[in-house]
Structures are given as C-alpha cells and as structure tokens.
Amino acid sequence: MRRRSTGRRWGLHLVRRNGVFHFRRRWPAALRKRGAPEFLCISLRTHVLAEAVKRSADLLAAIEAGERNVLMELADSPTAEWRTRAMIREMVRAAVAAMLARQEAPVDALDTAAHLERLAQQSDAIRSAQKERDWSEAARLAGSAAALTGVPHEALVGPVLGREILSTARRLLELAHRVEKECGDPLHLGQELLTQVGLPARRQALRPPMLLSEAIEKAAEEAPDEVEKKVRAVGRLAIAFFGDVPVATLGFERVFEFLEFIWKMPKGWGKGHGRNRHGQPGREIDPLAEQREADAHDAAVLAEVMATPDLTLPEKRRRVVERLTPRLTDGYLLVQRDMFARIARAALGSAVVGRSVDDEDRVVPSHRQIEAKLVVWHKRARTPCGLPTRISRPKRRRSWSLEHVVSLLLSPIFAGSSSTAQRWRKATSSKRFILRDAFYWVPLFMITLGVRPEEILQLKVRNVRLRDGILCVFLGDDLDDAIKTEQSRRVLPVPELLLRLGFREWIAFKGQSGEVWAFPEVQPDASHDRRSQIWGDRMRTLLARLDLKCEREDIYAMRRTLASKLLNLGVDNGVRQRVLGHLEGTTVDRHYSDDGLVELKALLDQVDYGVAVGQKSGFAFPVITGCTVALLPPLEVLVALTDQGAVSALRLCDPDTDETVFAARIAGAPAPKSQEWDSLEVLTGRAVATRANEILAAYSAILPANEEAVAAFEHLLILGDPAPRMPLPPAPVRESAVPGRATDPHPVAPEPEAFHEGPVLGLRKGDTAICVFPCRGRGAEDKLPRPGLVVAVRTLRGETFLDLAPGIPHNQMPVAPHELLVVEADETSSAGLAKPTRFDLRHRILVRVDDGSRLHRRLGSLSRKSDQRLMQSIQFAGDVSPLPVGEGAGIGRTPVVERRAKKVVHPPAPSPAIGRR
C-alpha cells in the first residue's frame, strides 16, 4: 500500500494531526503587535476531508470579518496601546495595593461580611454590563486610572477599551473575594495577573506612579557627575514641555514631539540668566520663551533677505546662514535623547527604553528612529525656494595657524597693557602692565602641553614638582581633581618656553607666599561649577576685543594645535595620546612613562612657535619681545556667487585699511546684482585664478565665513597657474644639550636669537632683504616680514641704521612716482624677488644694522637699470626723514639727564692771617 507524502497539503489552512483535521492560520501583523499569538489553531473535529474543507471555509469567513472589525476599531481608537496598558497596570496596582492596605488594617467580622457582599454586587453589575454591552460602566471603574495615565474619557466607553476594562475589573473582584475569604497574600494569589500587566509581585511595585520631577531626581542621583548635569538640563526642558506629569502618561509620539522641540532649541539656551554678574540675583529662563524669541528673529531675517531683489539665491543663502540663530546639532540631539531615556528608565524601567525593546513597544525612540525622523525634519526646515530656516553650526575645529598663535602671543596680554582690568588695551609709554595670571599662563600651557583648560586651572602649587631635574606638573594627582577620564591623570614636563618666561620662579614665589591654588582668581561660583566655564567666557571676551576670535580656531582648538605640531614632527601616536590625556598607547607605556621625562621634554621642546623671550625695562621677569618667524601679512577674500554657487567676482583687500589689492569680475559669469561689483575689470576665470594665486603666495588669506563661498573660491583657484611662494627665512639652528640635568637649565633672560652671523649682513645701498616692518593700523608689536629695499645707510648718535623702504607685490594698480617698480625678469632675478614688487619710498623706516629680530636675510641687489630709476623715485618722494623703529619723534636728540645738586650752606672762609701757618 502506497503511503501519502508527509508534505501533502490538504487544503487552505488545513493540517492533519493524528487523523483529525485542524484549522491553522497566522494572525495579521497588526494584531500580533498588540499581543495576539503567532497562529490560530482550532480542531475541526472530523476525519473526513470534505467536511473539514466546508468547516474551514465557514470559519475563515467569520474570522476575516472579525479581524476587519477589530482592526477598524483599533484604527479609530484615539488611545495609544502603551497608554492603555499603563491604565490597566494602574488599575491593577491600585486594586492590589488596596487589598494589602485592608489586610493590614484592623477589621471585624461584620465588616468582612459586608465587604464580601459589596464585592458580589459589583461582580454582578460588571457581569450584567458585559452581557448588555454597556461600556459606560467601564468609565466609572477606570476613571481615576485613566485621568492619571492620560486616557481620554471618550475612549473608555468604546468597545475595545470597555471590554478590556470590564474583564480586568472582574478578575480583580475575583482576586479580592479570594483574598478576603482565604486571608491570603494578594501578591501571591494575584501573581499571574500582576505579571500579565508588567508588575513584579513585590510591595515596591505597588507604589503610586512616579512624577516627572521625581524621575529626574532619581535619574540624576544614579548618573555620574558629568552625566548628572546633562540629565538635569534635559529634565528642565521636559518639565517646560510636558509639565510635572506622571512619566507613564508620556506616549511615543509625544516624546517625538519633545525631541523635535529640543532639536529646535537655540544653541546657547539658558545662558542669559545673568547670575554671573556681580551682585545680580539673575532671572529664570523659560525655554519655551527662548525658542519663541529665536523663531521670531529667524522669521524676520528670512523675510528681510527674501524681500531683497538684487541678490542671487546663493547670496541669499549665505546671508541667511550667517544671521540665523544656531540651533542644537543632530549629534547632540542623540545625546539629549539618551539623557531623557535615563529619566524614563528611572520611572518605567528598561521595558520601554532598553536596546532589545521592539520599536512599537518603546516610549523613547531609538537612535535609528530619530535618524529617520531627522530626514523629515530637515526637509521641513526649508523654504519653497530652498533657503534654510534652521541652522546648527556644528563645531569644526582646526588647529591654530602660526599667524594666529603669534598674534595672540604678541597681543597686550603678553606684551603689556595700559589697564589691568581691560587687558586688550595696548600699553602706552607711561602705562604698561603684564599680569601673570590664568589668562597669561593657561594659553601658554594649552599650546605647549595640549592640556584641557579645567586640568590646568585646578592646578595646586604643591603639584608643581622637580622630578629627575625636570620641572613637572602633576595633573589630576589629587582625589578632588575633576578629570575627564582616568588617562587624564598624568605627569608632564614644563616646556622650555614657559621656563624661559619664568614659570619656575613664579610658582616658587606662590609657594613661599602660602598660596594653595596656582590660579586662585578663577574659582567656581554659584552659577558656574567648573573653572573652565568662567575662564572660557572671559577669554572669549578678550579674544573678541583683540580681534582674534575665530569660530573654527577657538580656545579648545589650542589643544589640537599641539597635537598637529607633534604629528608633523613625526612623534609617535602613543606619545601624543599620553600628552593629551587620551587612551594610552603602547609606545608610551614602554618608553615614555614617568621615568622618561627627559625624552618627553625633548619632544615637546621641538614644537617651536618662534617666540623671542628677553628682558624689558620696567619688568623684573622675562617677557615676550617678538617673533623670530617670518609671517605672511593677512589678506581678506571677498567673493560674489552666481545662482549655481560659482564665483562671479573676486576682491582681495587689506583687512586693516580695506585697501583693495586685487579685484575683478569673471568673464562669462552673470554680473553680480550688488552695485559694488559693477566697476571692476572683467577677466577670464583663468586670469583671475592665476592672479589670485600669485598674490596669495605672499599673504595669509582670511577666507569667508560661509562654507559655500569658501568652496567656490578654492575651486576657482585650481583654474589658474600655481605661483611659487615668497621665500621665507630658514629656521634658526639651536644648539641644545640633552635636556634635564644641567646645573641651571632655566635661564632667566636668554639672548634673542638672530638669523645672521655678522652684525651688518653685508647690506649696502640698493640691496634687498627680508625685513620685519610694523603693520599700519596696529601697534608696534605687530610685525609683518616682507621684502625691503636699502635706500641708504645712515649714522645717528654714533650708531649705524639702514634706511629701508617696504615692498609689496605688484597688483596691476597704477604705480605712483614715489614708488620703485621692479617687474622685469632680469631685475627680479638680480634682486632675489619671487615676483614683481614695488617699493614705497615715502613710508621708510630706520633699523639698526645689528637688529636681528627685524633683519632676517639678504635677498640680492638692484640691477643697474633699477638703480637708475631708484634715484628718480627718491626725488619724487621728497624730503622724507624716517625715524628709528620703536622710537618717538624727538629721539634724534640725545637725552640728557640733569641732576641738580642740593643747596648747601658753607661756613665763611677764615681770614688769611688766621688760616696760614
């Protein structure tokens, strides 16, 4: 007899088990998400295939009709599934808690009988309501739980919720009757019901639902110190958005709305409280009001830019981006989400925020869900023409340029100020103050050691020690020190630059004075619990006043500057990580531990910013006297863009005088709509790019703040021919012994370094050299190296001076009669110039022949043809009397110090007869 195949299909949804046919069908996904089992399996109770097929068809029709009704009711239900479960859980919690309270309260036999009678009556009423489909009884039974969990009253009288409420109420009455009659433990007898609603059978689970403020406090208490501040900040936003409601009432979509609210918050929200002002109590900041103000400001900016007809779309986008209020970044939103998840977990447990929780069961969205939602939010944050209505401006730090570092080190903070309160004011001849405090030493530590501001600001005097002959700072050495990671506890040698500036003597004096903190002027207060916040706010104000504030090259980027310098020097990655306080590398563990301080200091001292240290009259300690590195003068780049984002016009100008060095429009590109570009010369794109490359080879470019304009300008430059850069003086060669065990390794006032061997460099009239000229519009401390022409050699007061004329690259502008133009190939080659240059014979200076800080090196000499034109240009320049650099108008006369003798009354001289012998 042939056996049937075990894989035979008997019919739709039919299976055969032990000769009996069964109906087996998978429930729809919408019902499975709401707790339905995977399959429905029902015995058809027949062995006959034909009868089983008939019964299966009838059952399938009834099930499909019922599924449609249930799905329609679920779709029309205004209540979220999680909120329904929260309401049922609250009903069970309150009922079981009441049973426990009744068991623990004194009661007599008559009261027990009356209570059992009431339970029976309530059970009969619920049974009758179920039979009559009277869902109004559900509203009475679950009213208090619904109000607490946010379920609307209208949803309670619907068949979906009403049926579940009545069924749960009957089970609770049966449990109460059993507990009362048997005197059993409700936690034990009702364990199955408690587990079904998500409550553990413990007394602690029967507490009332936690309010949002309570959840915030609990989450903050459980979080580490650094995370606690973020939890409280997010909790403050949550209280403002939701109110102090039970956490169980917060739904998934409502939390999404809250996260979008955070996403739209201004970047610096909450900082305008005013409590950091002396003697001011401050004010409370309403996050909702702050966001409304930012929205109103952005709407006004958009309306103003949109109403300007003479702007292209990229120009409108540039102006909008520059003026809109920055909001929180996408990455920081995920951090805020994690903080709110801690709050929700503190109140609801991990069942609604854990990693293994299904998306449909969550209260707090996952990262993947937020990232998908961010795509939608970004699309909404655009106008119909594509202009952004929201910007975030994430931090994109870059290392400080050498020009930026030198400008800071030559600023009044380090060179001297005329005011101790307003450190940005330049010193005068009668007032010059240098305060060696946190604003003096901390920037130096950051660019030479790469330390975090908080690490060095909390330095104690006792944590500066001499180990193995090396002066070291012990960071994070005390238990009360605030550190970011365990790797932040490290020992670093003090670099040579700080030693030359007298840090050892300064810290020793503090120790002798009995001071505890190295920087006591920066201490936490009521509104700032971190020193770096106070110092950072003040330092940013100083940088802004000094015109040194840059978005990308901010204070914290000083730390990155050292990392980049060490990388360029080929320092091992492990050593760089050790210095910066990151994860320790293998190399540092083997070679550069605390016993390798000599080698580590030698590596750090290789980073050279070209700072010259010496003595100045009026100061008892060494100070920064100048820069020994040739720096390029700054040049600001201004561009006009087309609708396609390409450059249509370019202007290069001096940032101090706003004098145009080069300006042109690009042929073939649409003319800029602004009238300031109309009168420019029209050149091809290649000609503009070539000319820009030639000019920028001798300047340090200040690029536009708009990234789109920067990208368009940098793309334009590739169209032109590259130009060689202006020759720079070679780095000075230093003779240094092995650092560490010298008899006096910390000289107080080292001699300034020079770039030449002899005092005169062999310069004579007609020679060209790389020289440092004072920058117009700035103080004498700001120096710009450029080619200089020796017009004459003069002698004043027995000293020899060189009469120097500054040179600038020729930019096709008309040449004045008092300017000498060196443009021919043979002339520039003889003079050692990389490009055509013109020398201004009216703005000359006198420099001592032995001034190594200003005279770098000789370039060449003028050809005979250029020398002849020099005499003509000198005649057109007129009577020019240049002054020595750094000296006043009356310096030509030798100063005379007159000392008056005290008036003395002499006794009368004796008569000759008496005085002679």
Q: Write the pLDDT tens digit of every residue in 70-111.
A: 766 655 454 556 667 778 888 888 888 888 888 888 877 777
Would you say 703 and 552 are in contact if contact means Cβ atoms under 8 Å apart? no
Per DSSP, 47 falls in state S
Predicted pLDDT at 488: 74
- Report if residue 390 sits inside a domain: no
Q: Which helix (H) or strand (E) holds 196?
A: helix 191-196
Residues 6+ apart with CB under 8 A from 303: none
Residues 174 and 110 in one domain: yes
Q: Could you tell me how far CA 92 lies from the centroid of its own chain?
A: 48
Residues 615 and 661 in one domain: no
pLDDT of 746 > 50? The answer is no
Cα dist from 447 to 52, 559, 594, 797, whole Å: 86, 6, 21, 42
In this prediction, residues 651-666 reach a mean pLDDT of 85
More confident site: 906 or 468: 468
Q: What does residue 43 show for φ and ψ, rounded to 5 degrees?
A: -75, 130
Residues 304 and 446 in one domain: no
114 exposure class (CB count in 10 Å sphere: 0-12, 13-18, 19+)? exposed
Q: How far apart are CA 605 and CA 494, in angstroms?
A: 9
In this prediction, residues 450-468 reach a mean pLDDT of 88
Would you say 148 and 139 are in contact if contact means Cβ atoms under 8 Å apart? no
Residues 560 and 673 in one domain: no
Residues 152 and 197 in one domain: yes
Task: List the CATH number of the domain containing 781.
Answer: 2.30.30.110
Q: Give the dihedral sign, CA 886/889/892/897.
A: negative
In this prediction, residues 745-762 reach a mean pLDDT of 40
pLDDT of 259 > 90? The answer is yes
pLDDT of 729 > 50? The answer is no
Would you say 750 and 770 are in contact if contact means Cβ atoms under 8 Å apart? no
In this prediction, residues 687-710 reach a mean pLDDT of 84
Q: How far apart are CA 345 and CA 149, in angstroms?
A: 17
Residues 244 and 164 in one domain: no
Would you say 176 and 123 are in contact if contact means Cβ atoms under 8 Å apart? no
pLDDT confidence tier of residue 253, bands split at 50, 70 and 90: confident
In this prediction, residues 805-833 reach a mean pLDDT of 83
Residues 557 and 497 in one domain: yes
Which of 559, 590, 625 terminates a domain? The answer is 625
Question: Across the chain, what does the average pLDDT equal?
Answer: 79
Residues 409 and 545 in one domain: yes
Predicted pLDDT at 472: 92
Would you say 347 and 218 are in contact if contact means Cβ atoms under 8 Å apart? yes
pLDDT confidence tier of residue 361, bands split at 50, 70 and 90: low
- Report if residue 740 sits inside a domain: no
More confident site: 320 or 908: 320
Predicted pLDDT at 886: 64
Question: Percent of the chain, pLDDT > 70?
Answer: 82
Within the chain, how many helices (H) and strands (E) appear?
33, 20
AA letter at 495: P
Torsion, Cα of 627, 632, 638, 644 (10° steps): -120
More confident site: 682 or 478: 682
35 exposure class (CB count in 10 Å sphere: 0-12, 13-18, 19+)? exposed
DSSP result, 94-126: HHHHHHHHHHHS---HHHHHHHHHHHHHHHHHH
In this prediction, residues 703-711 reach a mean pLDDT of 80
Instruction: Give the total number of structural domains in the chain.
Output: 6
Beta bridge partners of 17: 20
pLDDT of 263 > 90? The answer is yes
Residues 469 and 500 in one domain: yes
The region of weakest confidence among 148-152, 160-164, 305-309, 399-403 is: 148-152
Predicted pLDDT at 606: 86
In this prediction, residues 121-143 reach a mean pLDDT of 84
For the stretch 53-64, pLDDT in tens is 888 888 888 888
AA letter at 174: E
Which of 206, 223, 254 terminates a domain? The answer is 206
The residue behind tokens 């009903």 is: 91
Residues 457 and 541 in one domain: yes
pLDDT of 891 > 70? The answer is no
- Report if residue 368 sits inside a domain: yes
The region of weakest confidence among 318-327, 780-789, 829-838 is: 780-789
The residue behind tokens 């020595």 is: 884
Q: Give the dihedral sign, CA 578/582/583/585.
A: negative
In this prediction, residues 413-426 reach a mean pLDDT of 88
Length of the chain measured in residues: 917
More confident site: 371 or 731: 371
Predicted pLDDT at 594: 54
Q: How far apart are CA 470 and CA 741, in angstroms?
A: 8
- Report if residue 130 sits inside a domain: yes
Residue 847, domain extent: 767-885
Q: What does residue 910 show for φ and ψ, rounded to 5 degrees?
A: -70, 155
Residue 157, classed as helix, strand or coil, is coil
Torsion, Cα of 421, 422, 423, 428 (10° steps): -100
- Report if residue 392 sits inside a domain: no
The region of weakest confidence among 22-31, 284-293, 623-632 is: 623-632
Predicted pLDDT at 783: 53
Residues 240 and 200 in one domain: no
CB neighbours (10 Å) of residue 868?
Answer: 10
- Report if residue 387 sits inside a domain: no
Would you say 820 and 828 are in contact if contact means Cβ atoms under 8 Å apart? no
Would you say 649 and 639 are in contact if contact means Cβ atoms under 8 Å apart? yes
The region of weakest confidence among 246-260, 351-365, 432-446, 593-607 is: 351-365
Which of 380, 412, 433 terminates a domain? The answer is 380
Q: Which long-range contacts (CB under 8 A, 24 or more apart) does 16-19 make?
A: 19/47
More confident site: 558 or 529: 558
Per DSSP, 777 falls in state T
- Report if residue 393 sits inside a domain: no
Task: List the CATH number of the domain containing 578.
Answer: 1.10.443
Cα dist from 660 to 653, 680, 863, whole Å: 4, 11, 30
Cα dist from 359 to 34, 151, 366, whole Å: 13, 21, 7
The region of weakest confidence among 213-222, 578-587, 675-684, 764-773 is: 578-587
Residues 448 and 595 in one domain: yes
- Report if residue 597 sits inside a domain: yes
The residue behind tokens 């520059």 is: 322
